Structure 1
Amino acid sequence: MNEAPNSETLRQVVVAALEDIKAKDIVVMDVKHLTAIADFMIVASGESARQTKALARNVTEKAKAAGAQVMGVEGEEAGDWILVDLGSVIVHIMHPAVRAYYNLEELWGASPSRARRNAP
């Protein structure tokens, strides 16, 4: 069994998994200074329920393969907003309209950065 990855490594694994399935507008928020529940929140958009479900599935598979524990997955039934809890990294995969309505980036007040696999 793999050793559990640190939050930075897990962030990179998640971003890569999202990019593999063509997620749109991936934003990584460093929330370490805002909350004790996670180090990073990642928000991404999928164009359909089928894509959001595929994105969530790929994130969980890649995270497990990297040695991370999946704490929970919520919202898979409807597919318009799926939350994947990886402990130190929380992933929100949303339809664009749902994402615009809830605007998590502004709600958290974190300084979001557009994700790239090798971003610092």
Structure 2
Amino acid sequence: MTARPLLTSQNLLADILSSLDDDKAEEVVQVDLRGRSSIGDYMVIASGRSTRQVAAMAEHLVERLKQNFGIIAKTEGKEIGDWVLIDTGDIIVHLFRPEVREFYQLEKMWMPQASAKG
């Protein structure tokens, strides 16, 4: 029996980013919410090229979190695949098709003002 990694926000974030990288997610952005919001410690936003890829990335991530940390993540939107929200408790993950991501522009809402200017 293999021991699970220690469940910290940083370990969870690293595992999420690794899973998204394995699944060829595009434009992955992480937002540090610590001290800014009670919804979680981090938010991760990423894109997939199609509804199929977005749904597959979500499915792989949810399964990986269950195996590696015993987390049963809540998901919304996986059936449609335009925008999937995965809530791990400490980290909120948003997976989008590019057009939907552009429409909602979550990064602009959550990134620090200096980053939003440009």
Smaller-chain TM-score bracket: 0.7 to 0.9
Give the alignment's Cα RMSD to 1 decimal: 1.9
What's the % identity of the aligned pairs?
37
Q: Give the distance between the partners of 2:89 and 2:112, measured in 1 at CA.
A: 18
**Shift in Å, 1:66:** 1.7
Structure 1: unaligned runs, 5 residues or longer: 114-120
- If each structure's helix is expressed as a fraction of its own residues, which one has the higher value? 2
Which residue in the other structure is 1:87 paired with?
Answer: 89
Which residue in the other structure is 1:28 paired with?
Answer: 30
**Shift in Å, 1:61:** 1.3
Q: TM-score, normalised by structure 1?
A: 0.85
Indicate whether 1:106 and 2:116 are aligned. Answer: no
Describe the superposition over 1:19-71 as per-residue Cα deviations: whole angstroms up to 9, x where unpaired. 11100000011011211110000000001111001100111111112214233
Task: Name the CA shift for 1:39/1:6 in 2 (closer, same or farther; >3 Å).
Answer: same
Describe the superposition over 1:72-120 as per-residue Cα deviations: whole angstroms up to 9, x where unpaired. 1000111000001111011000011111111111111348x9xxxxxxx
Asked whether the 8 Å contact 2:48–2:97 carries over to 1, the reply is yes
Asked whether the 8 Å contact 1:32–1:40 carries over to 2, the reply is yes
* SS of 1:79 mapped into structure 2: coil
Q: TM-score, normalised by structure 2?
A: 0.87
Structure 2: unaligned runs, 5 residues or longer: none
Does 1 or 2 have the higher relative contact order (CA < 8 Å, sep 6+)?
1
Pairing of 1:12-27 with structure 2 (within 5 A): 12-27=14-29
- Misfit runs of 4+, over 2 Å: 1-4
Aligned residues: 112
Asked whether the 8 Å contact 1:4–1:68 carries over to 2, the reply is no
Q: Answer with 94-103 or 68-77: which moved more.
A: 68-77
Greater Cα radius of gyration, structure 1 or 2: 2
